[in-house]
Structure formats: structure tokens, C-alpha cells
Amino acid sequence: MLFNSIDFAVFLPVVFLLYWFVFRGLRIQNALLLVASMVFYGWWDWRYLILVFFSAGIDYVMASQLERTDDPRTRNGLLLISLVTNLGLLGFFKYTDFFITSFNDAFTFFGHPLGLDTLRIVLPVGISFYTFQSLSYTIDVYRRELKASQDPVEFCAFVLFFPQLVAGPIERAAKLLPQFTQPRVFDIAVARNGVRQILWGLFKKIVIADNCSQIVNQLYADPSAHSGSTMALATVLFAFQIYGDFSGYSDIAIGTARLFGFDLMRNFAYPYFSRDIAEFWRRWHISLSTWFRDYVYIPMGGNRGTKAFVVRNTMILFLVSGFWHGANWTFVAWGAINAIFFLPLVLLNKHKSKSGTVAQGRLFPSLRELWMMGSTFLLACSAWVFFRAQSIEQAFEVFGRIGSASLFTLPEITSSLTMGISILGISVMVILEWINRERQYGLEMDGRAVRPVRYALYYTLIGIIIVCAPLGGGEFIYFQF
């Protein structure tokens, strides 16, 4: 079920009313959330629910056994079962066809084509997200940082919690699971805040991401047919498309969770206002970045050791992160180029130098801050080329067009209306997020504007969403991951 669909517009109020006004006990509310989450996820294909419950069941049993034993070998074995099962399922569904294709390509390159057929495996929606969320539970119980759950309904509701099930934020069990054990009380102020964040997420998804995608998809379909300036424009639009799409999903997820009394972690903190690439990665997809930091980077030794050791760990971290995003060498290249951008800051111990809010206490940034934000944005865009391209060859074709003399010509605009809507949406987003950059999201403005102004803004955004929604809008980009 899509957040930006009529189905969800009916589903959410029904579940909300049942949750607060019919089923008022903690256990029955958890059961309702579990059933609602099953309906939400099963809307795509109910058969994939079997996979989710199998993964959750393995982790529930392994964690329960981990709680009961102190024997190191037994505990290591139980954790290994959880890791192999979860990562094995993820690897089979996500990477089997990729490895078969790569194997074929390698032998063909050396003159010995194999002609192996791919299995044409359909990737279950959200498998990368719920696998990592469930794994965090088993690992934390293994580390004695969390007590194992004794309630299977409560635990399954945590794994399948519908607001963030298919595209995050990837919640830590230590933060989200205890919220299922505590009675929730309806708070109208929290609910209003949730609705505002849902509205903001829908604006970013429908007005910005869906309209930008109309242009980006057309131009990236055949880069060689377009000028350098056109492909540069397409790349910038994709940067805003993926931000509007993914951060929009996170905003809707966080806002929806608030309606039910849950607090999810922040997943984006205005990454395009970053002053270096290290700050960008602290602000982009925070739940995944911190997951890899805590469960991959730090266990490998982090940045403790020789420079060669730090380089190795950083490269592994970014390559694994890139490969997590998709079964294509373009994502590996995307991870590698971000590692190359990131490494100088780590080696010079400057990767944490930009920790505060840019232009804090001031309306406008300084020229130096503006330059730093602009250069960081351009670095991010250069990496986004690999993320968006269908192949490494196409990515270099895009760079070839951008590096040609045609970069200094006027871009080709295929649809003035779509381009105008995209620019309008991006402008509104950048202005509101800059004004509210010290807050959690761009529309969080209670107390900063008088009530009539706030409501005029809300209804204006609703009107823009209705008028500017493109016919081709649809799934969120990260559903494919």
C-alpha cells in the first residue's frame, strides 16, 4: 500500500479510529497494529508476509535462547543462525540474479560465454529495511544491551510496524520495541504535529519528486541525445527527486507513527545544507548510516589504528552501503566515490568539524558557508550520477556529455509546465527548510507564525499538492531496495 494512494487515505483514518476509540488496551492495540501492518504489507502480495514472519520468528527464538545462556560458543552459534538466515534470505532475493549476470559477463569478457539463465526473482518490498531492523534486535540481545521480548505479538508488531516497514527509518530495537510495552495516551498536540509532518512529506513526494522524475526519467533514458547542460540539469533535478522522495517517505512514516503515540528516529536533517561530505552523511539516511557505523564500522575497529587501517574500514563501509542499495555495479561505484570524497576528511581528522547548524542564529549564510554548501552539493550530485544511471557505461556517458562544450548551451526543456512545478516545489522546500533548519522538519513551525498564517500555509500546500500532482506519480524510489 502506497502512502500517496487513495487506499492509504482510507486505511489510515480507519486504523486510527479503531486504535484510539475502540481498542483501548495495550495488548489489543498491539494486536491491532500487527493486523493493520499485515494488511498494509500484504496489499502488494500477501505471500511475502510468510517471509517476514519467518525472519521475525527466527530472531524471536534466537534472542530468547540468547537470553537464557551464558555459554560463549552457544551464544555465538545462535547469533550466527540469525545472521545467516536473515542475510541469506536478503542475499538470495536481492543478489542471486545479479551474481548470475556478473558471472556470465565475466566469462563472456574472456571469450567463454556460459549463457546461464537468471532466476528472475522478484524482490520483496522492504526486505532490506525489515531485515536490518530485526537483526539489530538479535545483535543487541547478544551484546546484553537489550532484554529479549517475551511477547510474540509485541515483537512481530515491532518488526512489521507499518509506518516504517518498507522504507524506514530502520529503527533500533532498543528504541522502538520498548514503546510497544508502554501504554500510549492520545495527545492532540502530538497528533497535530504528526499530521503536519505527513503533509510536508506528501508535498515533497508528490510536488517535487514525482514532477522531477518526469523530466529525469526522460533525459536519463538516452543521455547521448542531450546536451551537457541538459544532463547537468537532469542530475540536479535527480538530487532533489531522490531527496524529496526518500525524505518525504520518512516524514510520512514519522508523522503516521506519531498519530499512534510512537516516536521514530529522525532520518534526514537537511543534508543539502551540509558544508562537507562527512556532514552530508551524518544528515542523509541517518538510520542506515548509524546502523552501519554501529554494527559494521565500529566492530571492524572504526578509525582506531593506522591510516591504512582507517582507509580499509572506510572503503568497506561505503562499498557495503552502496551494495545494500541495489544489485548493480553502479551502486558499488556510488559507494566507492563517496568513500573517496570522505577519506581525506577522516585522514585529516576533520570529519567531525562541521557538527552545528549552518548559519546558526543568522538568517543568511556567509559567502564561505554558501561556497561550502554549494561545493558539497556538487560532490553529492556527481555521485548521484552513478546512483541514477542504469550502468557504469551510461554514467560515464553522462559525465562525457556534461564535460563537453555543450555544457555552456541552454538546457533543453521538454515540458515547461513540469519544469515550472518542479522549480516551484524545490523553491518552497528550500525556503521552508532553511527557515526551520534548527527544527526536525520543514513545516514544524508552531509558535513561529500566528495561527492564520500557519493555516494559510497548510491549505496552500494542500492546494499545490492537488493541482500539481502528476499523472505518472507512483512508488517511492527506495521500494526497489
Tell me the three state secondary structure of residue 106.
helix
Cα angle 330, 334, 337; round to 5: 130
CA 18 vs CA 31, 32, 36, 135: distances in Å: 12, 8, 10, 31
**Contact by Cβ (8 Å): 83, 110:** no
The yes-or-no answer on residue 325 being catalytic is: yes
The C-alpha atoms of residue 229 and residue 238 are separated, in whole angstroms, by 14
**Contact by Cβ (8 Å): 169, 286:** yes
The C-alpha atoms of residue 287 and residue 167 are separated, in whole angstroms, by 11
Tell me the three state secondary structure of residue 419.
helix
Q: Provide CB contacts within 8 A for 331, sequence distance 6+.
A: 322, 323, 325, 386, 387
The active-site residue out of 112, 226, 285, 325 is 325
**Contact by Cβ (8 Å): 476, 205:** yes
Amino acid, single-letter form, for residue 251: D
The C-alpha atoms of residue 263 and residue 10 are separated, in whole angstroms, by 23
Give the burial string for 228-241 (b: 16+ CB within 10 Å, else e). bbbbbbbbbbbbbb
Provide DSSP, 239-299. Answer: HHHHHHHHHHHHHHHHHHHHHTT--PPP--S-GGG-SSHHHHHHHSSHHHHHHHIIIIITT
The C-alpha atoms of residue 389 and residue 331 are separated, in whole angstroms, by 9
Give the burial string for 339-361 (b: 16+ CB within 10 Å, else e). bebbbebbeeeebeebeeebbee
Q: Which of 277, 274, 216, 276 is nearest to 242 (CA)?
A: 216
Question: Beta-carbon neighbour count of residue 88 at 10 Å?
Answer: 10
The C-alpha atoms of residue 475 and residue 481 are separated, in whole angstroms, by 12
Its sign, for the CA torsion 99, 103, 104, 108, is positive
Residues that are catalytic: 325
